[in-house]
A and B are shown apart, each in its own frame.
Chain A
Amino acid sequence: MTIKGKAYIAGIYEHPTRHAPDKSTAQLHAEVAKGAIEDAGISKDDIDGYFCAGDAPGGAWPMVDYLGLNTKKLRHIDSTETGGCSYIIHLGHAAEAIAAGKCSIALVTLAGKPRTGAMPPRAAGAEVDFETAYGATTHNAYGMCAMRHMHDYGTTSEQLAWIKVAASHHAQYNPHAMLKDVVTVEDVLNSPMISDPLHRMDCCVVSDGGGAMIVTTPEIAKSLKKPLVRLIGHGEAMKGPRGGKDLDLTYSAGIWSGPRAFEEAGITPKDIKYASIYDSFTITVLMQLEDLGFCKKGEGGKFVADGNLISGVGKLPFNTDGGGLCSNHPVNRGGMTKILEAVRQLRGEAHPKVQVPNCDLAIAHGTGGLLGVRHAASTAILERV
């Protein structure tokens, strides 16, 4: 049993806003849902599967009601919550449901307002008394990974900075990007230290906004007007400190989700023309590139240096929308936008300055939670038909 080729992404929408003081979170969900529905050219009333995560106010049932989905037709609901990679997991779960005949047109939404509204608190796990007081945040949790990666493999701040430099080269062409200025390695190194060894420019933006997609059957996708993009491989995984045994913060759960996705797709990292790689921080990108097999463990620093991630310059064009580092990281969750830019590349709808020629195979990979503590990862391999 495989989901290879059994589900297509027929509609996508990324909200153009990055700052939404005058909108509600539910409203943003509705706006991105409407955008994806219109992009696909379907009717809202045809949707029979709905997927959302922890950013949806109240969870699935209030959202289904608020969005006015057709409850006579809606027959598959999934609110898997794995932080920023939830939507990549949703894509895989939607494909599974479609392959099993449990739904035929699935809507996935993400939206929220970390800049202009209160963020819902993260639910505490069994570790609460043994960790909460120590103040793990995204910055210092990823800082701990970077610190150890530097220690074990000689990775440098200069190498990490190249990841931000590449993202900024792409963001200059994205009219919606929060940060459009091209930056240099020196700019990154000269930006203030936030949590050692990560500088401000090693960190992603904080943005209001959201995105949505429509996932459907091959038959329905082919009846619509958009270029055909299908899911051919998917993987998901989790990692944590596991009772403190053999702690190793230099790799992520991508080391397991990646091979699962590549095996299902029947391809290798060498075949990938474009990569959407979760970029909450520069170190996130570097570790995931290693974990996914784009280079050997410990050689990520060398791999990302000298513009190797810049479209038209390097060997692996990444995050051509500017990514979370420069364009958008709605609700502190970058998984949806990773899928959306991969679909744009496969459709040939990326900005001409960053469009990868003949882009037929792409990867969208993300993590959720804290790499330095406990997290999930998900990998999707997409193909233009």
Chain B
Amino acid sequence: MSEAKKYPAPVTNPETAAFWDAAKEGKFMIKRCTACGEAHYFPRSICPFCYSDKTVWEEASGEGTIYTWSLMRKSPTGPYAIGYVTLKEGPSVQTNFVDCDLEKLKIGQKVKVVFKPTDGAPLPFFTVA
């Protein structure tokens, strides 16, 4: 794979537009509920835990650890590793691991967010910290 993999542009909608606007500035956002204090991902306007509508955007550290992963050995666009990262702030997020040795990923390993371009807003991925 000599060419960079092409990722689909987010469609976005009124509920999530702020996430993608922040991504254009390299910021990885999560939502936090000011009623119950819980953070969640992906972002919703109504807190999925307490159903309060008092949710606010918060810039996350972009740091976390690998909860699990799986390396797809073959695909039309080459091998790729999917997984979940548990963010420092609490929520676990689905992602791909990039720009690192995919055969050496380990549960518990520290990772950090990186953005990859699309034809629209950039998408968040994670790489070994």
Interface residues of A (CB under 8 A from B): 126-137, 139-141, 143-148, 151, 192-198, 241-245, 247, 249, 372-373
State the 10 A-B residue pairs at the shortest beta-carbon distance, nearest first: A244-B91, A143-B70, A243-B40, A130-B42, A247-B92, A129-B10, A148-B68, A243-B48, A140-B70, A244-B92
CB atoms of A245 and B49 under 8 A apart? yes
| Minimum C-beta distance from B42 to chain A (A) | 4
Q: Given A243-B40, A243-B48, A136–B94 Cβ distance below 8 Å?
A: yes
Known A126-B42, A244-B41, A247-B92; 6 more pairs at CB < 8 Å: A129-B42, A133-B118, A141-B70, A144-B82, A146-B70, A245-B49
CB distance from B125 to the nearest CB of A (A): 8
Partner of B40, one of A133, A143, A245: A245
Chain B 2-16 per-residue mask, 1 if CB under 8 angstroms from chain A, else 0: 000001101110001
How does the 8 Å CB contact mask read for B56-99 relative to A, with 1 for contact and 0 for none? 00000000000111111111000010111011001111111000
Q: Chain B residues near A148: list those with CB within 8 A.
A: 67-68, 107
- Among B8, B40, B69, the residue within 8 A (CB) of A244 is B40
Bound together, the chains give a CA A132 to CA B7 distance in angstroms of 10
A129 with B11: CB separation less than 8 A: yes
User: Are A134 and B94 CB-contacts (below 8 A) given A144-B68, A144-B82, A243-B44?
Assistant: yes
Using A129-B10, A244-B91 as known contacts, say yes or no to A195 and B69 having CB atoms under 8 A apart. Answer: no
In the docked arrangement, what's the CA distance between A192 and B95, Å? 25
Is the beta-carbon distance between A247 and B70 smaller than 8 angstroms? no
Is A135 a contact of B93 with CB atoms below 8 Å? Answer: no
Is B75 within 8 A of A135, CB to CB? yes
Instruction: Tell me how far the C-beta of B72 lies from the nearest C-beta in chain A, rounded to whole angstroms.
Output: 5
| Interface contact B16-A129, CB-CB below 8 Å | yes
**Pairwise interchain contact B94-A243, C-beta atoms closer than 8 A:** no
Q: Which of A127, A131, A140, A373 contacts B72 (CB 8 A)?
A: A140
Chain A hits for B7, CB < 8 A:
133
Contacts of B83 in A (CB 8 A): 144
Please give the residue numbers on chain B whose beta carbons come within 8 Å of chain A beta carbons, in ascending order.
Answer: 7-8, 10-12, 16, 20, 38, 40-42, 44, 48-49, 67-75, 80, 82-84, 86-87, 90-96, 107, 118, 123
Residues of A within 8 A of B123 (CB): 133
Q: Is the CB of A147 within 8 A of B107?
A: yes
Closest B residue to A132 using CB positions: B8
Residues in B neighbouring A195, C-beta threshold 8 A: 70-73
Cross-chain contact B82 with A241 (CB below 8 angstroms)? no
**A192 to B, closest residue via Cβ:** B73
Contact A151 B68 (CB under 8 A): yes
Q: How far is the CB of A375 from chain B (nearest CB, A)?
A: 14
* A241/B73 in contact, CB under 8 A: no
Residues of B contacting A139 with CB < 8 Å?
70, 72
Given contact pairs A129-B10, A135-B75, A243 touches B91 in the complex (Cβ within 8 A):
yes
Is the CB–CB distance between B69 and A144 below 8 Å?
A: yes
Contacts of A241 in B (CB 8 A): 84, 92, 94
Selected A-B contacts with CB under 8 Å, 8 pairs: A131-B42, A134-B95, A140-B70, A145-B68, A148-B68, A241-B84, A241-B92, A244-B93
Contact (A135, B82) CB under 8 Å given A129-B16, A195-B72: yes
B96 cross-chain contacts in A, Cβ below 8 A = 133-135
Taken together as a complex, chains A and B put the C-alpha atoms of A243 and B90 apart, in Å, by: 10
B56: shortest Cβ distance to chain A, in Å? 15
Complex: chain A residue closest to B93, CB-CB: A244
Q: Is the CB of B90 within 8 A of A193?
A: no
Contacts of A245 in B (CB 8 A): 38, 40, 49, 90-92
Contacts of B44 in A (CB 8 A): 126, 243
User: Which residue on B lies nearest to A137, using beta carbons?
Assistant: B72
